[in-house]
Amino acid sequence: GFSFGSDRYYDEEGPAHAAKVSAFWIDVHPVTNAQFARFVAATGYLTHAERGISTEDDPTLPEHLRVPGAMVFQQGPDVPSPGWQFVAGANWRHPLGPDSSVIAQDNHPVVQVALEDAQAYARWAGRKLPTEAQLEYAMRGGLQDADFSWGTTELPKGKLMANTWQGQFPYHNAAADGFTGTSPVGCFPANRFGLFDAGGNVWELTRTGYRPGHAAQDNAKADPPGPSLAQSLDPAEPGVKVAVIKGGSHLCSADRCMRYRPSARQPQPVFIATSHVGFRTVR
């Protein structure tokens, strides 16, 4: 059993409550570019970002956003207005746009994958995406109700424990941890369960649908599945299905969101691929 959620940060993380999960195996790190490349080579799979967003996915989207491409976070001294932009031609092989590449980034987490892409990889590997409860349990590493996957303080003895944003977000990334984007998996200490990147680096997809806050009835029994994806619609865009993502990313900063914590959670539209979301699998 473990303490699921938190009452100390954002409303959608509460209420904190006792939950139980049955034993499972989980990847020690997010799925990497090299692992995803093996899947694509074996199956010829084409990701959502490589196909483009259909009217079925989102009927309200303007045509120029339906071309193959994905969401990229623009940052740096030469970017006049830092933030999210749709970039045509961005995909898992070219995560920041057509001029970028994952060559020499074999050990970085794969990004620009939508939910169905992660599920297709997991099926091919004979595995599944974790539920929100499984992922939070694993990220906590056996620590009861600690704020971080490594303990109760953000910087134990002043040490950076995860790939996050240092500096004023989104204008200045001091990169004190050595990275402005994704980092190779395993650069930072593992938690007590041996999981790397159980906070920061990339957000991780789950197979649980998103609702703000934890409903008690979802978690009354062991292995709470949470809301199904079919029931989980974006409050801002009714009709758009959203899944829970967890763990925060290299774009999470202490001064802005601090979501590189096991209890942190956000909604991710199931068909959108972004440069800071990846996944790991369970069996």
pLDDT category at 265 given cuts 50, 70, 90 is very high
Domain membership flag for residue 66: no
Give the whole-angstrom CA distance, residue 70 versus residue 65.
9
pLDDT given for residue 222 in this prediction:
86
| 93: in domain | yes
Helix axis angle for 115-124 and 33-43, nearest 10°, is 70
User: Over 60: is that where the pLDDT of 282 sits?
Assistant: yes
Count how many domains the chain has: 1
Mean pLDDT of 106-130: 98
Residue 222 lies in a domain: yes
Global pTM reads 0.96
| pLDDT for the residue numbered 235 | 76
pLDDT of residue 217: 54
Domain that holds residue 45: 1-52+71-283
Cis peptide before 156 (omega within 30 of 0): no
Q: What is the mean pLDDT of the chain?
A: 94
**CA angle, 49 then 54 then 57, to 5°:** 95
Q: Is residue 81 included in any domain, yes or no?
A: yes
Residues 46-71 have a mean pLDDT of 94
Could you tell me which residues come within 8 angstroms of residue 66 by beta carbon, excluding any fewer than 6 positions away? 52, 53, 54, 55
**So what's the pLDDT on residue 215?**
74
Work out the average pLDDT over 68-88: 94
Closest-CA residue to 140 (of 191, 102, 99): 191
Say which amino acid occupies 127: R
pLDDT at position 185 is: 98
DSSP 76: S
> In the predicted model, is pLDDT for residue 218 greater than 70?
no
- The pLDDT of residue 236: 80
pLDDT, residue 216, reads 60
Widest distance between CA atoms in the chain: 52
In the chain, which ranges are continuous DSSP H helix? 33-43, 48-51, 115-124, 132-140
Q: What is the mean pLDDT of residues 118-145?
A: 97
Burial class of residue 243 (count of CB atoms within 10 Å of its CB; 0-12, 13-18, 19+): buried
Average pLDDT over residues 213-218: 71
Two structure tokens written together for 48: 């959502």
Q: Estimate to the nearest angstrom the gap between the alpha carbon of 273 and the chain centroid.
A: 11
Q: For the chain, what is the total number of helices (H) and then of strands (E)?
A: 4, 8
Q: What percentage of the chain reaches a pLDDT higher than 70?
A: 98
How far out from the chain centre does Cα 87 lie?
19
CATH of the domain at 262: 3.90.1580.10
Mean pLDDT value of segment 29-54: 98
122 in Cβ contact with 209 (< 8 Å) = no
User: Strand (E) positions, the chain?
Assistant: 2-4, 17-19, 69-74, 83-88, 203-209, 242-246, 265-269, 277-278
Of 49-63, 106-120, 217-231, least confident by mean pLDDT is 217-231
Does position 184 have pLDDT exceeding 90, yes or no? Answer: yes
Q: Is residue 58 part of a domain?
A: no
Q: Is residue 159 part of a domain?
A: yes
Phi/psi at 246 (5° precision): -140, 160
Range ranked top by mean pLDDT from 68-82, 163-177, 191-205: 191-205
Q: How confident is the model at residue 237 (pLDDT cuts 50, 70, 90)?
A: confident
The answer to whether residue 200 sits within a structural domain is yes
Average pLDDT on 264-283 reads 97
Across-strand partners of 282?
26, 128
- 149: in domain: yes
